[in-house]
Structure formats: structure tokens, C-alpha cells
Amino acid sequence: MTKTALITGATSGIGKATAYLLASNGIKLILCGRRQERLQTIKNELSNKTQVHTLHFDVRDKNTVEHAIKSLPENFKNIDILINNAGNAHGLDPINTGSLDDWDAMMDINVKGLLYVSKAVIPQMVARASGQIINIGSSAGKEVYPKGNVYCASKHAVLAITEGMRIDLNPYNIKVSAINPGLVETEFSQVRFKGDDLANNVYKGFKALQAEDIAEIIFFTISRPPHVNLADILVFPTAQANSTTVMKKL
């Protein structure tokens, strides 16, 4: 039977690349994001490959999240795969000068937003005793780097939530995974540095991971047989050894 996947943050980067790869493999898609025009364009491009439904919401708004997921048409209601991908870093500042607005954004989107979406989707997986949840964490969820403070905290939280989900959902046959990338060349740094030129240098001098690399790992994870769950994956570009060690040739 055709599976249905809900992807948050499908308008850009990892989420968008995942949408294209899953569509090529015939998986029905619910694509979410705030930028409605982008969602519509992606839907138009993928509609000859699979059925696509778009949901336009900010993951910070718990009422809208709940309403959007409740509003799904009958043929999209059973979500087999939830990919909690929406998120970003906002700012890169020492803890003594960081901005409260940036901290709110990272905790509200990366942590609470992931919880709101999960809360809206998990009960139907529990009722069917079937499902798979993939949370996009980060290498920043495994180690803290200078000025990473709150972003790293948000991704450490994603990892803890993933582990908690895997334990609590274990009786219901639900697979839960964390996929934790290092540096991936997406719009991530444009968001982190708020369009500043600094963003253009982050991926210079080495070959960063591409969004498609992570999409392939997500697809591999969801295409394992029923008895196999890839619980926790850490992936770096070859040029990166950890958060602060990157071999650059400039």
C-alpha cells in the first residue's frame, strides 16, 4: 500500500530535497512550511509523480498546527511517516551577548514546534500500532561549539525527545530515529546570519553535505524492513571531523 509522509520545512533545503526523492519513490506527501508560494510550486512540480497535499503553518502556533493536521482530507489522514525537519539556527553569538528573540525562535521552532507537530500526529500512529518518526537533529545536538549555545541546546533537546519517543512509543510498533547532520549547504546559514555576507563563506573551501545527501539517508531509513530501525545517525562531510574541525582549502 502507498505510504504517506508528512514533511515539515519542505520549502527549502533538506525538507525540499526529501520531498523530491520521496515523490520519485511514489510516497504520498503532505508538505508543510510557512512560504505558501514555494509549497504550491513544489506541489505543481511533483504532482505527476505522486499525490501531494500542502499545509501552510508556522510550527510555533500550536492551535494552527493542530487545526491544519485535523483538516487533512480523508485520503491524507493516515500519516505513516512523520519527518520533523523544520528548524533553523538564529544568530551565532556568545551567551553573554545573544539575543532573546533569537533564543525564543530556536527553542520555539526547533523544540516546541517539533513537539506540537508530533502531538498532532502521534495519536493516530498509536491507534494503528504503526508508524515512523524521523527527527532531524544535528551534530550540534551531540557536541556544543563556541557561540552555538542555544542552537546546540535546542538540538540536544531534539535528541533527548527522540530517545524519549522511542521508549514511550516502543509498545506501539513505532520506529523513531534521529538523523544528525554536520554542515549541509542549504538556506540554513542565510537564516542564521540574517542575510549577512558571513553566510556566503560558511560552505567555501570544502565540499559540504548537500540537501540531497540527507534526503538519501532519510529514504534509506524509511525503506528498511519492518524489523530494522536506524535509531541515531551522525553524518559529516568528509572535510569535517567535528563541529570545529573542518579542512578548508581557500
Q: Which residues are catalytic?
A: 151, 155
The CB-nearest residue to ligand NDP is 13
Residue 4 near residue 79 (C-beta atoms within 8 A): yes
Spatial distance between the Cα atoms of 91 and 93, rounded to a whole number of angstroms: 6
87-146 positions binding ligand 8X3, by CB under 6 A: 138-140
Give which of ligand NDP, ligand 8X3, none residue 14 binds (C-beta under 5 to 8 Å, depending on kind): ligand NDP
Spatial distance between the Cα atoms of 238 and 139, rounded to a whole number of angstroms: 14
163-182 positions binding ligand 8X3, by CB under 6 A: 182
Spatial distance between the Cα atoms of 139 and 202, rounded to a whole number of angstroms: 16
213 touches ligand NDP (CB under 6 A):
no
172-211 positions binding ligand NDP, by CB under 6 A: 181, 183-184, 186-188, 191, 211
Contact with ligand NDP (CB under 6 A) among 21, 58, 115, 128: 58
Residue with grid cell 546546540, as numbered in its chain? 152
Spatial distance between the Cα atoms of 47 and 28, rounded to a whole number of angstroms: 10
Identify residue 195 by its one-letter amino acid code: G
**Which residue ranges make up the site for ligand NDP (CB under 6 A)?**
8-15, 33-35, 58-60, 85-88, 109, 113, 136, 138, 181, 183-184, 186-188, 191, 211
